[in-house]
Amino acid sequence: MTPVATSTPLVDVAPPALTPAALRAQWLAAPDTLHPALWRARGGVAGGAMAAVQPSGFAALDAELPGGGWPQRVLTELLLPHPGVGEVRLLAPALAPVLRAGRSLMLFEPPAQVSAEALVQLGLPPAQCIVVRGRRGVHVPAPCQRPGAADLCWALEQALRSGQVGAVLAWLGPAAKSDVLRRLQLAAQAHEGPAFLLRELPARQQPSPAPLRLVLGCSGPDALSVQIIKRRGPAQAQPLHLALAPVLSARAMARVLARASVGAQALAHAEANAANQGALPSAVGWVDAGAGAGVAGSAGEAAPERQAVLASLLPAR
């Protein structure tokens, strides 16, 4: 008689439940597992939502940014004294790889007409750039009179929540109120890419839910100063001075350098007179401010840096 093989029945044994002490130890060892938005300082580098970054293209800036680049799934605020200080050229090295990966770039209410030629020069394919404007578009006498601001903020929030956009640049102006910013910050958690809000410099005095805020300013021809005023980690010691991709023609650059040289000579002459007379003329402050930035000019004349950048945003004639 052939023996019949018997097998031990399999029993589904549930894993033993962890004790409160064991759960506490597990959470302390890996607190990011509690919630994706939870952050714990680790030498100035954030985990969780700030872990994914997009390199900025500037090594000195990456060394200062938490995680080593522009963060994803959060808002980043850039505070500007005026449009055209070089903010688009600052962001272009980080935006270009996003578009090369086949994703799109959405620009909400840019301050000037967007030039396809300028986008190509920055490595941004125009076919992948989507411009979203309010009901009256760019021809508006004053930002506070723009109708459709609520609709624009709603469209931006939905774009972030969709998770289908590669990168976002938004100029919201007065529409960027505290409640709107909180909703946008929550929506950005679903956005796998960088999201930039470009705001006016006075907004520096207002609280913001954005975990990363920077102040930009012109520090010379084709140069930009960057001051990080809010980040997850230690405070920034000194502002950065970054060299941007040049946009000034040789003639414009020569004019800027000549004005800077004249301003430096005038300042030296004024300081010599002040040393002899024991007083500093009040006009020297204006000369020094222009010469120090390399953009000294006559009264009422815009800086060549701003002229060149704004001109690059306009369609060629």
**pLDDT for residue 233:** 83
**Token couple for 70:** 């522009």
- Residue-range domain boundaries for the chain: 48-243, 250-313
Q: What is the pLDDT of residue 229?
A: 94
Q: What is the rounded average pLDDT of the residues 137-150?
A: 53
Reply yes or no on whether the pLDDT at 11 is more than 70: no
Residue 5's pLDDT is what?
54
- CA 305 distance to own-chain centroid: 19
For 73-103, write each residue's pLDDT tens digit.
999 999 999 998 999 999 999 999 999 999 9
Q: How many Cβ atoms are within 10 Å of 277's Cβ, its own excluded? A: 9
Q: Is residue 289 scored above 50 in pLDDT?
A: no
- Please say whether the beta carbons of 225 and 243 come within 8 A: no
Whether the CB-CB separation of 216 and 86 falls below 8 Å is answered with yes
Instruction: Between 306 and 18, name the one with better pLDDT.
Output: 18
Amino acid, res. 172? L
* CA atoms of 68 and 37, how far apart (whole Å): 18
| CATH superfamily assigned to domain 48-243 | P-loop containing nucleotide triphosphate hydrolases (3.40.50.300)
Q: Does residue 22 or residue 152 have the better pLDDT?
A: 152
Q: What pLDDT shows up at residue 281?
A: 33
